[in-house]
Amino acid sequence: MPASDAIMMENEGVGTRPRLPLRRSLRSLVGTSEAGLKASHFRRPWLAAGLLAPQLLILLFFFFIPTWKALSLAFVQVDPFGGTMIFVGFENFTTLFSSPEYRDSAILTLWFTVVQCIATLAIAGLLAFATDNVMRGRAIYKGVILLPYAIAPAISGVLWAFLFNPTVGPLAQMLHQLGFAWDPNRRPFDALLLVSVAAVWKHVCYDYIFLVAAFLAVPASVMEAAAIDGARPVRRFFTMTLPMAAPTIFFLIVMNFVYGLFETFGIIDTVTRGGPAGSTNTLVYKVYQDGFRQLDLGSSAAQSVILMVIAVLFTILQFRAVERKVNYQV
């Protein structure tokens, strides 16, 4: 048995965090399986049903039925005025994949998400490293840097839209003085940059919280040993702290992607509304645009289904990331 497995098993024995029964056989779904059941438990099936009922009912009406509808709508075409529906098979998908608009949207979403992810992680990493190495004022720095967590993506959008507003924005005026023709209302790249800045500003605090916790969790004994061997702080950071925080970093990469893909709707809607010329029309914003503005329900549902597949992939990755956190415990 590899050493890391032994560590994990030992960890399980202590009972710090019960692992998910991800690989259960199908039979356990129906039977009264013991997985995740307390050894000391009650046998009152009707009471249990009553306790579960609110959760299951809400999920049925607002999760399962909508999801099922999205799946079925993706394979039909609906005309926006009447209620007629025609089954068209995979046509909605093939139209999407062959449409240059959708491809552009996918590419710009990828660009935006990757840039946002790297920038957020790098800035948060630098700040967390600095926090780890100062003695005074730590609580104040933390308090200030955490502040954007309270601020809604939509408000972050409003604040940055003002700062970089081409006519009144103070930062836009500075850029104009420096000779840049800054105008996010007309120049696609400026708009994308502005949305990215607002997204990063809002999200750095999230990565920061996790990285500070991860850096703090590195055992002092390991650091002292490295220091005695002559490793200076920066070297210790790159050869000890960073590898030991790798599971957290992996988790944060996944979470940053989820944030960039799904949670930046408010920023885009307040800053650019997907414009100019579709240059900030990310995949999630496009679902909203096509469904609620153009009333093209079939295409919008097909886009939802594609996003669902992406979301499921990321959730699986996220659970993998959480599982991997155990490996580096000493």
- Binding to another protein (CB under 8 A): which residues in 2-41? 15-18, 24, 28-33, 35-41
Looking at the DSSP assignment, which residues form a beta bridge with residue 87? 76
C-beta separation of 128 from 141 below 8 A: no
> From the CB of 215, what's the least distance to another protein, in Å?
12
Going by C-beta distance under 8 Å and a sequence separation of 6 or more, which residues neighbour residue 232?
A: none
CB of 114 to another protein, least distance (A): 19
Task: Please count the CA atoms within 13 angstroms of the CA of 305 that sit on its side-chain side.
Answer: 19
By the 10 Å C-beta count (0-12 exposed, 13-18 middle, 19+ buried), 141 is classed as middle
Output 96 or 301, the one with its CB closest to another protein: 301
CA 191-199-298 angle, to 5 degrees, is 75
Binders of another protein among 156-215, rule CB under 8 A?
156, 158-163, 165, 167-171, 173, 177, 185, 201, 206, 209-210, 213
Spatial contact of 105 and 280, defined as CB atoms under 8 Å apart? no
Label each residue of 192-248 as H, E or C: HHHHHHHHHHHHHHHHHHHHHHHHHCCCHHHHHHHHHCCCCHHHHHHHHHHHHCHHH
267-286 residues in contact with another protein (CB under 8 A) are 269-270, 284
Q: Given the complex with another protein, which of 4 and 294 has the nearer CB atom?
A: 294
Q: Is the Cβ of residue 1 or residue 140 nearer to another protein in the bound state?
A: 140
Contact between 264 and 202 (Cβ < 8 Å): no
Residues within window 291-330 making contact with another protein, judged by CB under 8 A = 291-292, 297, 300-301, 304, 307-308, 311-312, 315, 322, 325
| Of 5-13, 86-94, 186-194, 230-238: span binding another protein (CB under 8 A) | 230-238
- C-beta closer to another protein: residue 16 or 98: 16
76-115 positions binding another protein, by CB under 8 A: none
Taking the least distance from each CB to another protein, the nearer of 104 and 132 is: 132
Footprint of another protein on residues 236-255 (CB under 8 A)?
251
